[in-house]
Amino acid sequence: MASFTLFDIPSVVPNQAWSMNTLKARYTLNYKGLHFKTEWIEYPDIEDFYKTNGIVHTETRGDGSPNYTLPVLFDSAHNTYISGSTNIASHLDKAYPDTPKVFPNGSEGLARGFEDAMENAIEPIWALLLPKVPVYLNTASKAYFLRTKPRSRVELDQETKREEWARLRAGFSKIASWSAPEGGLFVMGDAPTFVDLFMGGLVYWVKLTCGENSAEWKDMSTWDEGRWDKLLKAVEVYGTVV
């Protein structure tokens, strides 16, 4: 029987999954019903983890240097490490075809393009939310995050926040128009696919970093006729930490 280890980034709250990127992989594993355990790696230790285990990085920085990121999944049955949530989902669909597909009907290429388009649409989110992340991180990761992510050190003034929040809302509405032309909750019908898990992880991240009782989350939960709150409620059941 296959066993899996998901490598995730810890927070100040023990056993709390918080990263939108690692949540996509966590959602995928739980949706497929694949049993796994979680191991936590602080930000400064990720590069050594890659190098020690011979893991191939899948992202690069603006200067062309390797960007060592989580999630990473270890699949014991195939004795392999896979980095990046989209690559993890692709591997699991192919290696375990009897589990529910997150890229159904050969839709992986379309989903990857959709993911790029969604990231462009939500671009304002980084300036708005990255400054809120460090408070959730342990000391070592907090220092690393502040050093390597300049936008986390810049707090926008109130007028700029309002402008960027309006841009973010417009971006979410654009995504809603792409993904639910007939009013459905999921992109491809009655079951979630990777695109839905991507957006669910993002919305959870907003809710967590802003706070459940924050004005920001209360506002977002009403956008597009409550679509994003409904989507989160549909997929957050797959966020279990084990």
Joined together, the tokens standing for residue 54 give: 């011979």
Whether the link from the prior residue into 71 is cis, omega within 30° of 0, is yes
Per-residue pLDDT reduced to its tens digit, 136-147: 999 999 999 999
- Position 241 scores a pLDDT of 87
What percent of the chain clears pLDDT 70, i.e. is strictly above it? 98
Query: Residue 1's pLDDT band (boundaries 50, 70, 90)?
Result: low
Query: Residue 181's pLDDT band (boundaries 50, 70, 90)?
Result: low
Query: Residue 65's pLDDT band (boundaries 50, 70, 90)?
Result: confident
**What DSSP string runs through 165-185?**
HHHHHHHHHHHHHHH-TTS-S
Joined together, the tokens standing for residue 216 give: 């920001």
The dihedral of CA 207, 23, 62, 173: what is its sign? negative
Of the listed ranges 145-154, 178-187, 233-242, the least confidently predicted one is 178-187
At the top level of CATH, the class of 105-238 is: mainly alpha
User: CATH for 4-103, among 2.160.10.10, 3.40.50.720, 3.30.365.10, 3.40.30.10?
Assistant: 3.40.30.10
- Position 180 scores a pLDDT of 59
- Residue 98 DSSP label: T
Sequence spans of domains, the chain: 4-103, 105-238
Query: Is the pLDDT at 183 greater than 90, yes or no?
Result: no
- Position 141 scores a pLDDT of 97
Joined together, the tokens standing for residue 33 give: 């019903």
Tell me which residue of 48, 63, 52 sits closest to 144, measured CA to CA. 48
* Beta-bridge partner residues of 6: 38, 73
